[in-house]
A and B are shown apart, each in its own frame.
Chain A
Amino acid sequence: MTVSAAFRKKRKQKPTNEKAFDLAIFLLGTMALLFAAYPLYFVLIASISNPDMTSAGKVILFPRGITFQAYEFIFADQRLWNGYLNTLIYTLGTMMVGLVITLPGAYALSRKDFVGGSLIIKLLTFTMFFQGGLIPTYLMVNQMGLTNTRIIVILLSSCTVFNVIVARTFFQSIPGELYEAANVDGCGNIRFFFSVVLPLSTTIVAVIALYLAVAQWNSYFNAMIYLNDTSKAPLQIELRRILVLGESLLGGSDDLPAEQIEYMRKVTILIKYAVIVVASAPIIALYPFLQRYFVKGVMIGSIKG
C-alpha cells in the first residue's frame, strides 16, 4: 500500500515539475528567438524610420516616422544595381558550373565497382586538411591570366570537398542492382546517370545548388583579390564600400552648410540600414521555404564527416 501511495504521489508531483520545465524551455527558446531575430528585425524597421527617431531610441517594435528616402537613394544608385546584377551572374554561374563538376563526379565516386575511386577520394579528402593557400593560388590564377575576369570568381567557389562528400553519400543510397538491371538492357553509365540517377536525386541537386548559391552570394574575398574593375564588382564589394569603408552614396563635399552636412549624415545611416535589407532580403525571405534542403545537406554531410 505504501508503495502504491508513494507511486501515486510521484505521479501527482510530476506534472508541476514538468510544467516548470516546459515554462523554462519556452522562455529560453523565446530568448534564443529574440537574440537571433531581433537584430535583423531592427535593421528592417530602422531602414524605413525617421533617423532622428531611431537615434533617439524610439524605434523598438515598430517603425516610426515612416520614410522610404533611403530606398529612393538606393534605387537610383547605378553601382549598387550593377553589383546586384554581377552577383546574380556569379551566383548562377557558380551553381551551374558547380553542379556540372560536383554531381557526375560524386556519382562515379559513389559506385563500389569504380576502380580507382577510393584513390580519388583519398586525394580529395587530403585537400580538406592541406591546401596550397592564398599566395600559391593567387600566383596560379595570375599565371593562367585569369585575374580580373568574371570566370575566376565563378570557378574558385564552384566545388568543395564537402559538397562532393554530401552528394556522394546521397548517391550511395541508390541500390547497385538498379544499374546492373539497366546495364543488361544496354544502358551505359553516362545515360544511366542522366536518365535514371538525376531524376531520382532532385533533393541533392537542390541541396548542392543552394549551398553553392548562398556561398557565392555572400562572398567578397575572392572578388576583392582578383577583380580590379568596379564594373565587375559583386554586391558584397559594393556593400563593403558602403558599410565597412563608410563611403557615402551621396558623395561627400565639405563646402556645404552645416545643416546640410547633418542631414547627409543622417541619411547615410538610413542608407546603411536599407542597403543591408536590400542585400539580405532575397536569401532571408527565401530560405524558410528551402530550409529543409539546407538541413538535409547538414544531415547527409554528418553521416560521413
Chain B
Amino acid sequence: MTAGKISFTSRRFTKLWIRISRNKGLYLLVLPLVIYFAVFYYTPLYGLQIAFKDFKPVLGILGSRWVGLKHINKFLNSFSFESLLRNTLTLSIYGLVVNFPLAIILAIIIHYIPNIKYKKVVQTATYAPYFVSTVVLVGMLFIFFAPESGMVNKLIVSMGGKARDFVGSADLFPHVYVWSGVWQRIGWNSIIYIAALTSVSPDLHEAATVDGASKLQRIWHVDLPAIVPTAVIMLIMDCGRIMSLGYEKIYLMQTSSNMLTSEIISTYVYKIGLQNAQYSYASAIGFFNNAINCILLVVVNKIANKLSGSGLW
C-alpha cells in the first residue's frame, strides 16, 4: 500500500516533470523578466525591512538592529504627520473627483461629434498634452501664471482684477495642481471610455430611437449604463492610487511659499530620505503610505464587488 502511494506521487512528479521539460524553452524566455523583477522589485522589498530597523550603512541591512515600529510611531506622532496626510489626501481626492467625471463627459462629447474628421482632430488634440513632460508642464505653469509677467495675471489685471501668485500661494496651489493635471490627462483618460461607448451595440440605440428617445435620453439610458463596468474598474484603480500621489510633478511645483499645502508624504520621503539621509525613518514613512494604499484598494474592490458585481478581482 505504501509502495503504491509512493509510485502514485512519483508518477505525478514524472508527469509534472514531463510537462515542464516539454516547455524548457519557455523558462529561458521568461528568465530576463524574472531576473529583472527579482532585482528591481523584490530586492527593494527585501530592503524595506530597514523601516523596522535602525539602518546604519556600515552594518548593512542585515546587521542593523531591529527596532520594531519605532519609526512608524515617530512619524505618526510627528509634528508634520497631520498636514502631510491632509495635503496628500486633499490633492489626490480633489484630483479624483474632478478627473473621473470629466473624462467620461469628454468621451461622450467626442463620441457624439457627428463629423468623423473633426472627431479625429478633437481626439488627437486632447491626447497631445499627455505627451508633454512633467518638467515642461511645470515650466509652462511657471510662465503662464507668473505673478507679474504671466499672461493669466495680465488678463486678470486688464479685466480689473488683482494679480496673484498662483503657483506660489498655498491657497491656490491645489487648484493649479489639479487643473493642470486635468489639462494633461483628460484626453488620455477618456480613451478607454470612448472605446466602451463604441462597443455599445447599435441595436440598443436603434431600439431606443424607435421608442422616441432623444440623443440625450439615449446617453442617459443606453450609453451610461454601458460604461459603468469600465468606470467602476477605473474608479477602483484611482482609489488604489490615492496615497501614491506622484512626487514628480509636485516636487517641481514646490516653492517655499506654497509648502503649507504642497508638501505631501512622497515628497517628504524624498527629502527626509535622500536629502537628510534618514534612511530608516523615510522607509518607514514610505511603508506606511504603501500599506494604507493597499488596504484602500482591497476595501474599495470589496465594495465594488458588492455593489455592481464588477471589480479588479
B44 near A137: Cβ-Cβ < 8 Å: yes
| Chain B neighbourhood of A188, CB < 8 A | 25
Pick the residue among B127, B143, B214 that contacts A273 (CB under 8 A).
Answer: B143
B33 near A159: Cβ-Cβ < 8 Å: yes
B121 near A131: Cβ-Cβ < 8 Å: no
B121 near A243: Cβ-Cβ < 8 Å: no
B24 near A189: Cβ-Cβ < 8 Å: yes
| Chain A neighbourhood of B133, CB < 8 A | 217-220, 236, 239, 279-280
What is the CA–CA distance of A37 and B233 in the complex, to the nearest angstrom? 29
Chain A interface mostly:
helix
Q: How many residues of A contact B (CB 8 A)?
A: 93
Within the complex, the shortest CB–CB distance from B64 to chain A, in Å, comes to 11
A-B contact count (CB 8 A): 276
B79 contacts the other chain (CB 8 A): no
Pick the residue among B119, B183, B187, B297 that contacts A129 (CB under 8 A).
Answer: B297
A302 contacts the other chain (CB 8 A): yes
A136 near B48: Cβ-Cβ < 8 Å: yes
Take A37-B125, A114-B26, A115-B16 as given contacts and tell me if A135 and B136 are in contact as well, using a CB distance cutoff of 8 Å.
no
Within the complex, the shortest CB–CB distance from B135 to chain A, in Å, comes to 5
B83 contacts the other chain (CB 8 A): no
A276 contacts the other chain (CB 8 A): yes
Q: Chain A: residues with CB nearer than 8 A to chain B? A: 10, 14, 17-18, 21-22, 25-26, 28-30, 32-33, 35-37, 39-40, 43, 55, 57, 100-102, 104-109, 111, 113-117, 120, 123-124, 127, 129-140, 155-156, 158-159, 164, 188-190, 192-193, 214, 217-221, 225, 236, 239-240, 242-244, 269, 272-273, 275-276, 279-280, 283-284, 287-288, 291, 294-295, 298-299, 302, 305
| Chain B neighbourhood of A39, CB < 8 A | 129, 140, 144, 183
Within the complex, the shortest CB–CB distance from A22 to chain B, in Å, comes to 5
Pick the residue among A137, A244, A295 that contacts B135 (CB under 8 A).
Answer: A244
What is the CA–CA distance of A59 and B20 in the complex, to the nearest angstrom? 68
What is the CA–CA distance of A228 and B90 in the complex, to the nearest angstrom? 34
B142 contacts the other chain (CB 8 A): yes
What is the CA–CA distance of A69 and B132 in the complex, to the nearest angstrom? 24
| Chain A neighbourhood of B143, CB < 8 A | 243, 269, 272-273
B136 near A115: Cβ-Cβ < 8 Å: no
A135 near B230: Cβ-Cβ < 8 Å: no
What is the CA–CA distance of A211 and B134 in the complex, to the nearest angstrom? 16
B224-241 residues with Cβ-Cβ distance < 8 A to A are: 230, 233, 237, 240
Take A139-B279, A276-B136, A298-B192 as given contacts and tell me if A29 and B45 are in contact as well, using a CB distance cutoff of 8 Å.
no
B217-255 residues with Cβ-Cβ distance < 8 A to A are: 230, 233, 237, 240, 247-248, 251-252
What is the CA–CA distance of A36 and B102 in the complex, to the nearest angstrom? 13
7 cross-chain pairs, A with B, having the tightest CB-CB distances, nearest first: A132-B44, A105-B33, A243-B139, A189-B25, A136-B47, A218-B133, A133-B286
Pick the residue among A37, A104, A242 that contacts B33 (CB under 8 A).
Answer: A104
What is the CA–CA distance of A55 and B297 in the complex, to the nearest angstrom? 47
Within the complex, the shortest CB–CB distance from A41 to chain B, in Å, comes to 10
| Chain B neighbourhood of A288, CB < 8 A | 124
Within the complex, the shortest CB–CB distance from A282 to chain B, in Å, comes to 10
> Which residue of chain A is the closest to B60 with respect to CB atoms?
A143
Q: How many residues of B contact A (CB 8 A)?
A: 99
B106 near A32: Cβ-Cβ < 8 Å: yes
B6-48 residues with Cβ-Cβ distance < 8 A to A are: 16, 19-20, 22-34, 36-37, 39-48
Pick the residue among B39, B135, B214, B279 that contacts A17 (CB under 8 A).
Answer: B214
B127 near A294: Cβ-Cβ < 8 Å: yes
| Chain B neighbourhood of A291, CB < 8 A | 123-124, 127
| Chain A neighbourhood of B286, CB < 8 A | 133-135
B157-197 residues with Cβ-Cβ distance < 8 A to A are: 158, 183, 186-188, 191-192, 195
Instruction: Name 11 extra pairs, CB < 8 A, besides A134-B270, A188-B25.
Output: A21-B216, A57-B154, A108-B26, A113-B19, A117-B26, A129-B240, A129-B293, A130-B45, A133-B48, A284-B128, A291-B127
Take A55-B149, A133-B290 as given contacts and tell me if A305 and B312 are in contact as well, using a CB distance cutoff of 8 Å.
yes
B26 near A189: Cβ-Cβ < 8 Å: yes
> Which residue of chain A is the closest to B216 with respect to CB atoms?
A21
What is the CA–CA distance of A273 and B142 in the complex, to the nearest angstrom? 11
A108 near B269: Cβ-Cβ < 8 Å: no
What is the CA–CA distance of A108 and B40 in the complex, to the nearest angstrom? 20
